[in-house]
Amino acid sequence: MPWFVKIEEGIVDKTIFDQHVPAHKAYVRDLIDRGHQAKTGYWGCLGGGMMLFQANSMTEAEAIVAQDPLVKSGCVKYKLYEWRIVVE
C-alpha cells in the first residue's frame, strides 16, 4: 500500500484545538487497527503537525483525511501528499 502524508497547520486557538485531540488520537488508533499503519505527531514549535499513513489510493487517502476530527472541526488546514519512499 502506498504511504501518504498529511502536513497540517493549526488555525484555531490552542484551547479549542486541544478539545479535539482525544478524538483525533482515537481516530488514529482506529486507522492502526484497520491496517493503515498510521502515525501522528506535532512539530516541536507550536502550530502544526503531520500524520503518516497507508492507503490504497489518493482517493482513499482523501476520504480518510476527511474523517479526521481535526479536519472535521476546522482546527487545521492541510496538504495531502503521496510519499514515495526511496530508501527503507
Q: Are strands 48-54 and 39-42 parallel, antiparallel or unpaired?
A: antiparallel
pLDDT, tens only, 14-27 = 899 999 999 999 99
Predicted local confidence at residue 5, as pLDDT: 98
Residue-range domains of the chain with CATH = 3-83 (3.30.70.1060)
Strand runs labelled E in the chain: 3-10, 39-42, 48-54, 76-83
Count of helix runs (H) and strand runs (E) in the chain: 3, 4
Which stretches in the chain have pLDDT values below 70?
Answer: none
Predicted local confidence at residue 23, as pLDDT: 98
Predicted local confidence at residue 46, as pLDDT: 72
- The torsion angles phi and psi of 67, rounded to 5 degrees, stand at -90, -5
